[in-house]
């Protein structure tokens, strides 16, 4: 028996103690190379392909923020029967000789209007009202000029309706009253609720 175990050992191991496999079989590559290199390289290649594909197929925005918003038919075979629609300019700016100014964009209807910028000479109210001036929807007090000013409204704007943003100079009591605070004439920024 002792002799048989020794012969059996030599039948499966060579002189360098490496496994001898039966004829026609190979040892798995992962057993000889460590198994992590090929999956790592494959992962890098797949990752590069995914990132490159996402970059290549991502939509690009080539429009300028100062452009007028418009919809045009770009591919006649795809857009048959579509007519070109042009809306009012996206940005409206007005100012007067005293230095007050407003910038507002057309925006989604809702309970808040965002004024892009307001240039003021003192404590003032940025007021949102109907385009005819008959109804004031909301006001925000500012001590100085500002950007991205949210004006909370008492009544929401309605899609398709026109509104305007105006400036009232505070009379010193820090409370808005359209009868007591002075409307800055010549400064009006109209916009449309979308």
Residue 68 vs residue 56, higher pLDDT: 56
Among 36-45, 66-75, 163-172, which is the least confidently predicted range?
66-75
In this prediction, residue 39 carries a pLDDT of 72
Least confident of 73-82, 115-124, 157-166: 73-82
Question: Which are the contacts of 177, defined by CB distance < 8 A and separation ≥ 6?
Answer: 171
Q: 80: how many CB neighbours lie within 10 A of its CB? A: 8
Hey, where are the domains in the chain?
A: 91-192
77 or 194: which carries more pLDDT confidence? 194
Per the prediction, the chain carries an average pLDDT of: 74
149 near 105, Cβ under 8 Å? no
Helix/strand/coil for 190: strand
**Which of the residue ranges 56-70, 88-102, 135-149 would you say has the lowest mean pLDDT?**
56-70
Q: How high is the pLDDT of residue 4? A: 47
- pLDDT higher for 37 or 89? 37
Of the ranges 6-15, 19-28, 70-79, 143-152, the best mean pLDDT one: 143-152
Q: Is 128 exposed, middle or buried (0-12, 13-18, 19+ CB in 10 A)?
A: buried
Annotation: CATH topology of 91-192: Immunoglobulin-like (2.60.40)
pLDDT at res. 89:
52
Cα separation, 30 vs 80, in Å, equals 59
Query: pLDDT-derived band of residue 8, with 50, 70 and 90 as boundaries?
Result: very low
């Amino acid at each position: 028996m002792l002799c048989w175990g020794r012969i059996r050992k030599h039948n499966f191991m060579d002189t360098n103690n490496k496994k001898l496999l039966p004829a026609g079989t190979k040892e798995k590559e992962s057993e000889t190379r460590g198994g992590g290199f090929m999956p790592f390289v494959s992962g890098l290649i797949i990752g590069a392909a995914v990132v490159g594909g996402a970059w290549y197929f991502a939509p690009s925005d080539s429009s300028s923020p100062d452009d007028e918003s418009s919809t045009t038919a770009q591919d006649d075979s795809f857009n048959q029967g579509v007519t070109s629609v042009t809306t009012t300019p996206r940005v409206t700016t007005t100012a007067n000789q005293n230095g007050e100014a407003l910038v507002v964009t057309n925006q989604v209807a809702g309970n808040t209007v965002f004024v892009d910028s307001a240039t003021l000479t003192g404590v003032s109210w940025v007021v949102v009202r109907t385009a005819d001036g008959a109804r004031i929807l909301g006001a925000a007090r500012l001590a100085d000029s500002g950007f991205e000013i949210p004006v909370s409204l008492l009544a929401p704007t309605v899609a398709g309706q026109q509104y305007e943003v105006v400036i009232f100079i505070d009379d010193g009591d820090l409370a808005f009253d359209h009868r007591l605070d002075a409307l800055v004439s010549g400064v009006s920024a109209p916009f449309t609720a979308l």
